[in-house]
Amino acid sequence: MIADRPRTTTRLSARRVAGVATSCALAGVGALAVGASLAAADTSLGTVGGLTYMFASSPTAPAQSSRGGSASCTSGTKVVGGGAEIGGAVAESHLTSTEPEYRHLEGGSPYWGAGIWNDSGPTKSVDVIAVCRKRKPVYRSNTAKVRVGHARTVAARCPDGTHVSAGGGYATGTPGASATPEGSYLNSSFPFDSRDAGRVPDDGWKVRIYNISDAPRIRINVSAVCVTQRPRYVTADPVAMPPAYELLSTAAACPDSRHISAGGLRLAGAPAANAHPVTIMPADLGDADSIPDDALRAKAQVLAGSTGASADMTAICM
Ligand SMILES: [Ca+2]
Ligand SMILES: [Ca+2]
């Protein structure tokens, strides 16, 4: 794990959750693939189909604080996917970023990074998986500003002849300011289709981030990982999320012959301020190996009083 990610202190962000109803429902299936009991160091969970799954857990964050976590690829491999999962109650924390990191370690290994804001309750950490392989992908990124109190969706497009294997983003909001402990947080992170032939969501990555910082305009950064091979994109049926609903699902699963690089979770129909994921993570479904190569594990919440929300989940299968 990289304990001191260069941009962590300025990019972690947060949002205070107020008035969250305690009643909720759980939907979906699946067992947790990666336990929090693993040591706080990068651990290889195994290699399958040319993909190596690296795991790390961050230091814990007390209430009203932020932390960054990361899982690094081993030397000679590149990051083509990954994901993050916060432990603990969904209502108590926010995922402020989850993304491939490939630019900031000159000569070092690329990694998957994630940030959390622990709003209340017990200390929390974030588990991170990096999916790595030897063949180098193409990376693309994009940036745009968003006003305070607003959400914005920003896209990074893959070059022609390539297909997206993963992506993510963060924003530059500063959490912890006395008047506004909130910074910014992730609402959605997902692959998109540019309406070319086939309607396959292979054309790049989008993130939707909500700015609740004390800065009038913060900068959203989105990254996409693009590969020349053709992944299979498995999208689960949309899940309706009634008010005060907690989603837990592994419904987007890869065929046995393929292995997940990353997953997308899009929370639509509700204001970005009212819906947030805490888990977008490759998971094991209990097949012969214990490698988290089988499905997307998604966990999210929509607040009480917010109607019409739904979750779209996609597993990208290499
Ligand atoms: Ca397409
Ligand atoms: Ca497995």
Note the pLDDT tens digit of each residue in 9-38. 322 222 222 222 222 333 333 333 333 334
Would the pLDDT of 300 be above 90?
Answer: yes
User: Helix, strand, or coil here: 95?
Assistant: strand
Residue 148 in tokens: 């305070």
The predicted pLDDT at position 173 comes to 65
Annotated domain spans of the chain: 24-317
- Is the Cβ–Cβ distance between 207 and 154 less than 8 Å? yes
Helix (H, G, I), strand (E, B) or coil at 264: strand
Share of the chain above pLDDT 90, in %: 67
Of the candidates 315, 267, 268, 311, the one whose C-alpha atom is nearest the C-alpha of residue 292 is 315
**260 CA distance to ligand 2 middle (Å):** 9
Stretch 192-201: mean pLDDT: 89
* Ligand in nearest proximity to the CA of 285: 2
Task: State the distance from the centre of ligand 2 to the C-alpha of 286, rounded, in angstroms.
Answer: 6
CA of 45 to the centre of ligand 2 (A): 10
pLDDT, tens digit, 9 for 90 and up, residues 103-162: 765 566 799 999 999 989 999 999 999 999 999 999 999 999 999 889 999 999 999 999
Nearest ligand to the CA of 157 is 1
Length reported for the chain:
318
Nearest residue to 239 via CA among 167, 296, 317: 296
